[in-house]
Structures are given as C-alpha cells and as structure tokens.
Amino acid sequence: MLPETVVKLRVPLALLGLLGLGVGGVACQKKPDPQGTRDRPSPAQTPDQTAQTRAAGPTAQPQGAEELKAPLAKIDDVTITLGEFQGQINRQSPYIRARYTSLEQKKEFLDSLIRFEVLAKEAARRGLDKDPEVVRTMKQVMIQKLMQGEFDAKITADTVADAEMKTYYDANLAEYVRPEEVRVSAIIVKNRAQAERVALEARGDAGKTNKGFRDLVNKYSQDEDGRLRGGDLRYFDAQTKDVPASVIRAAFALPNTGDVSAAVDAGNGTWYVLKQTGRRKSMTKSFDDAKPAIRNKLFREKRLTAQKDFVDGLRAAAKIEINETNLAKVRIDTSQAGQVDDGHGHDLPPLPMAIPPAGPADKPGIR
C-alpha cells in the first residue's frame, strides 16, 4: 500500500507524463484519428450545445457536499469521487477541458486515473514507495505544500504598506531619479604636444575598438591608477567633483559612443584624450510610477525573511548533529555536474528546490 500521504498528494502532471498517464496519457490511449478531429475542442458550438455548456457553467446550481463525495470508481481500497475527478479535470487549461465534455471522453479521463492508481498500487507492492528517490520526491511535494500553506495567504504583495514603499523610495532615490551620465576612457599625459599626437593616433585605426584604445592607454597614459583600469573613468554626471570640469564638458560633447576627443587641457598640468564608451539618459520616475516594482521587491524580501525565520525556528527546535569528519570524505563527481540522466540518454535538470521561491505558487494540472 502507498502511504496515505502519497495517495492524497497525487502526482504532478510531469510525473504522470512519465507514466504515460494524465492528459497526454489519455491521448495516447485513443485510436488513430487521421483527420485529427479529436484534437479539436468538443462539443461543436451549436446553439443548443452552447446553451448546455452555459447551464453547466457558473450559473448552474452549486453541488452539495454529498454529491461531490459520490464514488465514480473504486480500485481495491482507493475511491475516486466525483469531486476528486471533477477537480482533476478543472485544473487543466480551458482548451484541455473542452476535450472532456462528453460521457465517452469523461470515461477516458477516468480510465487514466484508474490506470494511475493501478500502477501506483503495483509500485507500492514492489516496495517502490520506500525507494529513496520516491521518498525524496514525496518530501519535496510535502515541503512545497507546507511552505505554500504557511506563506501564500499570510504574506502577499498587498501586505506591503504605502509607508514602507515610500521609505524605500526616499532611501534609494538614485535608482529612480538620475541625471544624464556619460562614460569615457582616458589617456592622460603631461604635455599638449604629446596629447595631440596620441589623439591623432587614437582617432585612427589604432583606437577604433575599445581594446585598441586600452592598448593605447597602456602604451601612453602616465596615470598609473587609470592605466590599471584601462583608462576607464566609469559613469559620471555633469555635476561630479571627481573629474576636471573641462574633461566633463569634453566628454558630454562627444555625440556618439566610440567617438574620440581632441587633446583636452584638464587645467591641472595634465592633458586628456577621451573615448566615449557609454551614455545613459536622465531618468525621473515618480513614487507612483515606482510603486509596483517597489511593492514586488519588498514583498519578495518580506517573504524570504519570513521563510528564513520559519526554517530557523524549526532548526532550533530540532536536534541536529553533523559529523564533519565523514562530511570531508564525500566525493563529488564533477564530470557532469548538475545533470541527471533520465534513463533514456537525456540529461534532466537538477532536482527542484525544496523551498519554493517567493511568488505565485505553481499549480500543476493533475496532482
């Protein structure tokens, strides 16, 4: 027998796909259909059928608890109820749901669930419910449900107050209000004649590329710190105090990225030859404009903090012992790091995180 928890959790749609079950499995069971009519939404949109569909939609009478508990199929001691079956189908996309509206199609979907239970029981009979990989998968699903139940309803984007967002906006104003900025690399020499010769060379083929200009920096620049950075002065605005005013004016006067200046007198005994490597337009984003992004950022931070506190509390309450001597003996195979073979010669991605990231929870079709 499968543990009761496994039966209740069901299996994600991806796992059903591996078994040839679920929505894809049903399609595989069908007879060949050369005209492809089974792939079209059914039933056809005639007036009478449209009315029937509407009658079964949101305006229909709500189903009672007893009706939802009505059994549709029983496989030994496992019962598939009307509510369970209905929930499985209604988790699918509208297009998929449209393929299971007739009684015959419902039987096919039910048959896929029966096949799932039959195979699951046989797997359990063979002891696969105790297989380490199965146990780990079950734990991952349980942990995902635990974290979703603990945080999805308690911490949402709506729980972030306007005051919190305004505080963040004011503290990080540079992210939302920024003047125009320019980025240049500079060759710095000590006299005008040399600067003019270097500028002539830099405006030719030697300085056309960023790498070529860096080579000229290494060859001519007499500023040791600048040479180590390849001459990069990084981004600065028109009001910066770290760059001579005449150099700032010359940098902003270069119209295009890649342009090289003439010799520029810095006014402090040095001469600059500049190459523009980037330009950023000014930006002014009001608090109201920035609110959606700030709300999402703070929501993620609050959720991650709450998750960390929750896990830290559980760790503190648990008795945890670590044998570092044995840990040091672990051997890591780095030949195909991060890949797992699916048994068919294809690499699968690593196992998903046990704790889901902040954000809307995934909702698999059949669980």
Structural domain includes residue 344: no
- Give me the amino acid identity at 347: D
Do 202 and 269 sit in the same domain of this protein? yes
Backbone angles phi, psi at 233, to 5 degrees: -100, 5
Do 278 and 294 sit in the same domain of this protein? no
123 contacts: CB under 8 Å, gap ≥ 6? 2, 129
The CA distance from 140 to 148, in Å, is 12
Do 87 and 10 sit in the same domain of this protein? yes
CATH number at residue 280: 3.10.50.40
Q: Given this model, what pLDDT does residue 59 score?
A: 53
**Residue 263, class by beta-carbon neighbours within 10 Å (0-12 exposed, 13-18 middle, 19+ buried)?**
buried
Structural domain includes residue 264: yes
User: 278 with 235: CB under 8 angstroms?
Assistant: yes
Structural domain includes residue 85: yes
DSSP-based three-state secondary structure for 352: coil
Structural domain includes residue 270: yes
Do 217 and 278 sit in the same domain of this protein? yes
Do 118 and 252 sit in the same domain of this protein? no
Q: What percent of the chain has pLDDT over 90?
A: 50
Question: What is the domain count for the chain?
Answer: 3
Q: Given this model, what pLDDT does residue 217 score?
A: 94
Structural domain includes residue 147: no
Structural domain includes residue 346: no
Which tens digits make up the pLDDT trace of 321-358?
988 998 899 888 888 654 554 444 444 444 444 444 44
Mean pLDDT of 194-219: 93
Do 112 and 190 sit in the same domain of this protein? no
Whether the pLDDT of residue 47 is over 80: the answer is no
Backbone angles phi, psi at 25, to 5 degrees: -65, -40
* Of the listed ranges 82-96, 132-146, 172-186, 259-273, the one predicted with least confidence: 82-96
Structural domain includes residue 139: no
Do 124 and 18 sit in the same domain of this protein? yes
Do 42 and 118 sit in the same domain of this protein? yes
Mean pLDDT of 165-183: 94
Q: Given this model, what pLDDT does residue 248 score?
A: 96
Do 10 and 127 sit in the same domain of this protein? yes
**How much is the mean pLDDT over the chain?**
79
The CA distance from 18 to 126, in Å, is 19
Do 247 and 296 sit in the same domain of this protein? no
The CA distance from 288 to 168, in Å, is 13
Query: What is the pTM for the complete model shown?
Result: 0.50
Mean pLDDT of 68-72: 90
Structural domain includes residue 300: yes
Which tens digits make up the pLDDT trace of 185-202?
999 999 999 999 999 999
User: 152 with 184: CB under 8 angstroms?
Assistant: no
Do 248 and 214 sit in the same domain of this protein? yes
How far does CA 183 lie from the centroid of its chain? 32
Which tens digits make up the pLDDT trace of 7-25?
333 444 434 444 444 443 4
Question: In this structure, how many other beta carbons lie within 10 angstroms of the beta carbon of residue 2?
Answer: 19
Q: Given this model, what pLDDT does residue 320 score?
A: 87
Do 112 and 165 sit in the same domain of this protein? no
Owning domain of residue 48? 4-132
